[in-house]
Amino acid sequence: MSKIICSAAIRGAHKIVDMAEAKYEEAVKKYGAEQEVHFPNTAYFLPIIYSMLGAKVERLGDMKDIFAECRKLLPDYVSDNVWLPYLAPALDAGMATFFAEEMFEAIRYLDAPDFYTKTEDPLENNIWLGAADDVIFRKRGVEFVDGTAPGFAAIMGAPPTKELASKIALELQEKNLYIFMHDQTNGVHMANQLKESGVQIGWGTRLVPFAPNYTSAVFAIGFACRVAMAFGGIKPGDFKGNLIYNKDRTFAFVMAFGPVSDEWYANAAGAINWGFPTISDYDIPQVLPTGICTYEHVVSNVPHEEIVQKAIEVRGLKVSVSKIDIPMSFGPAFEGERIRKDDLFMECGGGRTMGVEVLVSKDMSEVEDGKVTIEGPDIKDIQQGQNLPLGILVEVAGREMQSDFEPILERQFHHLINYIQGIMHMGQRNIMWVRIGKAAVEKGLSFTHLGKVLHGKLHQEFGAIVDKIQVKIYTDKAKVEEVMELAKRVYAERDERLGSMTDETEEIFYSCTLCQSFAPSHVCVITPERIGMCGAYNWLDGKASYQINPTGPNQPIQKGECLDPSLGIFQGINEFVGQASRGAVTELACYSLMNSPMTACGCFEAIAAMLPQCNGIMVVNRDYLGMTPSGMKFTTLAGMAGGGAQTPGFMGVSKHFMTSPKLFLAEGGLKRIVWLPKMMKEEIKDKLIERCKAIGMPELYDMIATEENGTTEEEILAFLKKVGHPALTMEAAV
């Protein structure tokens, strides 16, 4: 009975647009039409309106045209008899609903600045986070792009009990989905249910309490719109491109609990435009024919024990979840979970005790696959608060295994251990730190479970390389010291090998098109001295990945003849990129910002931009929210650099690349760097100073300005003159 749904959606849309417009008129009276309005820290204005209509709502007065558009979209009510086709009008009404709700929420940010926390995690007195800003969005967006998060569930209302709420949330987490929570059912909010059950909520655990009202559905949909613009390169105003992109690539759906109001129907109708269906536990009509969504549009009356499975089936999502036989839940959704002081049972490493993890390859005969041993006390043998030293030694063997792959496998420990619910892992190597929560201990955690996870997952992800894996865990101090000695030797050898590898010593570079699930035209080129701009994939990763999956996203590129050593232009790379970008990019300079720079999908750690007056380059990292001397914040710069297009003067870079000898080689290298945010400069301080020394300018580090020296080009120029920065006397870069 689509008629009931469409009729209700159209009624709901009228109510919502009326309400929002009344709010708008009130706001104009109160603040004036010139008053600025925005969602916090985003370059995408009100993202749904921006992506669908290409219109930038920056001031209250800008809303007038959008409300006019809403009125144009709002159809007549559906008549009882001889009705006119209502599906399309209902979809349009849903769109008008979202436009109106976005403006309504924008006015809320103005009216009640503290209504939302604007943080990644709930605060003591307020659990409602509000719209994701661009920092959160880009950080999380990476997970969408690399596949660790296939989509999201936009939840309206709350399941009948808090036990069910926890169960459904957990199931969704186990499917790696984000869970966006909105509104309430009978006065109960799902986020509160989870909180009361002691479930950690916030972006870190993918359980995101957006808002206690239905109008916040636009935060979820706006997130999807931004994914398409930032990673898919869809232009604002290209509504069809955006909607189809999301239908094909963002596996999101609406999950509604309890009675469905006209307003909820209006929001559900809106979501269908994006190909996001609605799954309800309530007795409402269904819309089963396909077409706008990939499969059904509205499926109802779904029992709670089946609702998650049903939802992903209706959305057409395949989630390959490997079952790891441990008593705790396991998956990417638990990676960001924290173990706070009150929840802590014990911890290892991190300065409390000695902690080390290392992976080495052995001869086939020396490894017994699946063996997990522990020497020293296990969890069950200790009291709460009793910290232990920890050594994790993983020994692998395989016909295809190379020592070069050891660090790659070892680097997985961090996220794999983090995937265990109730355990937090930080750092790596001999600065690793593991915190174990009470909840995990209650479920029967043993250190051997870490071994099981590493054995199972490494087999799964690197099966093409390793045939046998054994894990030795030590909590006995003397034994841990032994592992530490071994590890230090291994690290030193490794670093030496990696340090001696340069772009000149290797004939093959690797491509990375992992992001093409979300950024269809972008191609990364990874060289030994230039790590992927996401910071996550280096040359060895590319090599290993190719070994594992010869037709996968990392392909070897014979770099071929070097056409320009300073710009880093290679015949073979040009040919490869030309083909892989379908002719969009015909020349790529690996070491230049100003000539044929590398394209980006949008999930870069930092962005480099030319400052013409200063004759130098600034770099800003994703977490820096403030203004930069380029006159643009990170979010705006990201728009210039992302989306698979070459924009000379703007380029995505990883933090690691900042200390590479190949950094901006064409522009004169490190000497061109004139500005960095303080937080980034601090983060890479040691290596940066080392590089300054290496180029014979140890004083350069202090000449690089930060926001403390200014955030305008004029201020920076003055500072550079004062300190005598070398960029000023270099050849003009523009």
Partner 1 sequence: MAITRNGCEGCTEITCVSTKQVLSNDVAKNVKTAYDRVQSRGMSACLFGSGGTCCRNCNMGPCQIIDGVDDMLGVCGANADTVAARNFARVVAAGSAAHTDHAREMVRGFIDTAKGEGPHCIKDVEKLKALAAVFGIATEGREVNEIALELGEKALAEFGKQDSEPLAMTKRAPEKRQAIWKKLGIAPRGVDREVVEMMHRTHMGVDQEYENIMLQASRCALSDGWGSSMLSTELTDIMFGTPVPRRAIVDLGVLKADQVNITVHGHEPLLAEALCIAAQEPDMIELAKKQGAKGINLAGVCCTGNEILMRRGIPVAAGFVQQEIALATGAVEAMVVDVQCIMPSVTEVAKNFHTDIITTNYRAKMSGAVHIQFDEHAALESAKQILSHAIKNFKKRRDFFIPQEKKLDVVVGFSHETINYMLGGRFRASYRPLNDNIINGRIRGVGAIVGCDNFKLSDDAHEVIARELIKNNVLVLATGCAATSLGRAGLMTPEAAKYCGDTLAEICETVGMPPVLHMGSCVDNSRILIAATQMVKQGGLGDDISDLPAIGTAPLWMSEKAVAIGQYFVASGAQVVFQSLPTFGAKKFNKYLLEGLMGQVGAHWNVASEPLEIAKLMIAAIEAKRDALGINKKKERVLFDMAMRRDLTAGVPGVGCHGPGGA
Q: In the range 136-155, which residues lie near partner 1 by CB under 8 A?
A: 147, 150
**Is there binding between residue 73 and partner 1 (CB under 8 A)?**
yes
Site string for partner 1, 48-67 (x = CB under 8 A): ----x---------------
Q: Where are the alpha helices (DSSP H) in 463-554?
A: 477-499, 539-548
Q: Which is nearer to partner 1, 73 or 480 (CB)?
A: 73
Pick from 592, 601, 593, 532: which is nearest to 568 by CA?
Answer: 592
**Is there binding between residue 88 and partner 1 (CB under 8 A)?**
yes
**Is there binding between residue 1 and partner 1 (CB under 8 A)?**
yes
Question: Among 87-95, 157-165, 260-268, 421-429, which window interacts with partner 1 (CB under 8 A)?
Answer: 87-95
**Is there binding between residue 324 and partner 1 (CB under 8 A)?**
no
Site for partner 1 in 171-210 (CB under 8 A): none
**Is there binding between residue 523 and partner 1 (CB under 8 A)?**
no
**Is there binding between residue 582 and partner 1 (CB under 8 A)?**
yes
Site for partner 1 in 463-492 (CB under 8 A): none
Q: Which is nearer to partner 1, 642 or 726 (CB)?
A: 642
For partner 1, the binding residue among 33, 68, 319, 734 (CB under 8 A) is: 319
Give the rounded distance of the alpha carbon of 348 from its chain centre: 28
Q: Which is nearer to partner 1, 268 or 379 (CB)?
A: 268
Rounded to a whole number of angstroms, the minimum distance from the CB of residue 285 to partner 1 is: 9
Beta bridge partners of 278: 254, 298
Q: Which is nearer to partner 1, 639 or 677 (CB)?
A: 639
Rounded to a whole number of angstroms, the minimum distance from the CB of residue 235 to partner 1 is: 6
For partner 1, the binding residue among 85, 187, 303, 696 (CB under 8 A) is: 85
Q: Where are the alpha helices (DSSP H) in 521-649?
A: 539-548, 571-580, 634-641
Cβ atoms 262, 9 nearer than 8 A:
yes
For partner 1, the binding residue among 267, 521, 547, 596 (CB under 8 A) is: 521
Rounded to a whole number of angstroms, the minimum distance from the CB of residue 241 to partner 1 is: 3
**Is there binding between residue 318 and partner 1 (CB under 8 A)?**
yes
For partner 1, the binding residue among 67, 104, 116, 251 (CB under 8 A) is: 251
For partner 1, the binding residue among 34, 82, 124, 365 (CB under 8 A) is: 82
DSSP H or E run through 182? strand 178-182
DSSP helix/strand/coil, 582: coil
Cβ atoms 270, 102 nearer than 8 A:
no
**Is there binding between residue 316 and partner 1 (CB under 8 A)?**
yes
DSSP H or E run through 23? helix 2-31
**Is there binding between residue 43 and partner 1 (CB under 8 A)?**
yes
Rounded to a whole number of angstroms, the minimum distance from the CB of residue 316 to partner 1 is: 6
Rounded Cα distance between 85 and 102, Å, is: 27
**Is there binding between residue 721 and partner 1 (CB under 8 A)?**
no
Q: Which is nearer to partner 1, 323 or 399 (CB)?
A: 323
Residue 734 CA: distances (Å) to CA of 614, 666, 703: 11, 12, 21
**Is there binding between residue 291 and partner 1 (CB under 8 A)?**
yes
Question: Among 159-167, 181-189, 561-569, 644-652, which window interacts with partner 1 (CB under 8 A)?
Answer: 644-652
Site for partner 1 in 545-574 (CB under 8 A): 553
Rounded to a whole number of angstroms, the minimum distance from the CB of residue 295 to partner 1 is: 7
DSSP helix/strand/coil, 533: coil
Q: Which is nearer to partner 1, 204 or 241 (CB)?
A: 241
Rounded Cα distance between 381 and 677, Å, is: 47
| Structure tokens, 574 | 């040009």
Question: Radius of gyration of the chain from Cα atoms?
Answer: 27
Question: Among 111-119, 311-319, 364-372, 561-569, which window interacts with partner 1 (CB under 8 A)?
Answer: 311-319
Rounded to a whole number of angstroms, the minimum distance from the CB of residue 9 to partner 1 is: 11
Rounded Cα distance between 271 and 155, Å, is: 12
**Is there binding between residue 331 and partner 1 (CB under 8 A)?**
no
**Is there binding between residue 38 and partner 1 (CB under 8 A)?**
no
Q: 167: Cβ–Cβ under 8 A, 6 or more apart, which residues?
A: 304
294-310: b (≥16 Cβ within 10 Å) or e: bebbbbbebebeebbeb
Q: Which is nearer to partner 1, 422 or 532 (CB)?
A: 532
Cβ atoms 372, 473 nearer than 8 A:
yes
Rounded to a whole number of angstroms, the minimum distance from the CB of residue 74 to partner 1 is: 12
| Structure tokens, 194 | 């989870």
| Structure tokens, 369 | 């696959």
For partner 1, the binding residue among 37, 78, 100, 440 (CB under 8 A) is: 78
Phi, psi of 340 (to 5 degrees): -85, 165
**Is there binding between residue 44 and partner 1 (CB under 8 A)?**
yes
Site for partner 1 in 226-245 (CB under 8 A): 228-230, 232-236, 238-245
Rounded to a whole number of angstroms, the minimum distance from the CB of residue 534 to partner 1 is: 16
CB atoms within 10 A of CB 38: 17
For partner 1, the binding residue among 22, 33, 68, 84 (CB under 8 A) is: 84
Cβ atoms 271, 97 nearer than 8 A:
no
Question: Among 79-87, 100-108, 326-334, 663-671, which window interacts with partner 1 (CB under 8 A)?
Answer: 79-87
Rounded Cα distance between 288 and 317, Å, is: 17
Instruction: Measure CA of the first residue to CA of the last residue in the chain; give whole Å.
Output: 63
Beta bridge partners of 434: 348, 425
Question: Among 77-85, 104-112, 116-124, 688-696, which window interacts with partner 1 (CB under 8 A)?
Answer: 77-85
For partner 1, the binding residue among 49, 60, 70, 91 (CB under 8 A) is: 91
Pick from 8, 528, 65, 592: which is nearest to 263 by CA?
Answer: 8
Q: How many residues bind partner 1 (CB under 8 A)?
A: 78
Rounded Cα distance between 346 and 383, Å, is: 8
Rounded to a whole number of angstroms, the minimum distance from the CB of residue 116 to partner 1 is: 24
Rounded Cα distance between 148 and 151, Å, is: 9
**Is there binding between residue 248 and partner 1 (CB under 8 A)?**
yes
Rounded Cα distance between 368 and 355, Å, is: 24
**Is there binding between residue 277 and partner 1 (CB under 8 A)?**
no
Rounded Cα distance between 85 and 78, Å, is: 9
**Is there binding between residue 95 and partner 1 (CB under 8 A)?**
yes
Rounded to a whole number of angstroms, the minimum distance from the CB of residue 233 to partner 1 is: 4
Q: Which is nearer to partner 1, 179 or 292 (CB)?
A: 292
CB atoms within 10 A of CB 729: 9
DSSP helix/strand/coil, 203: helix
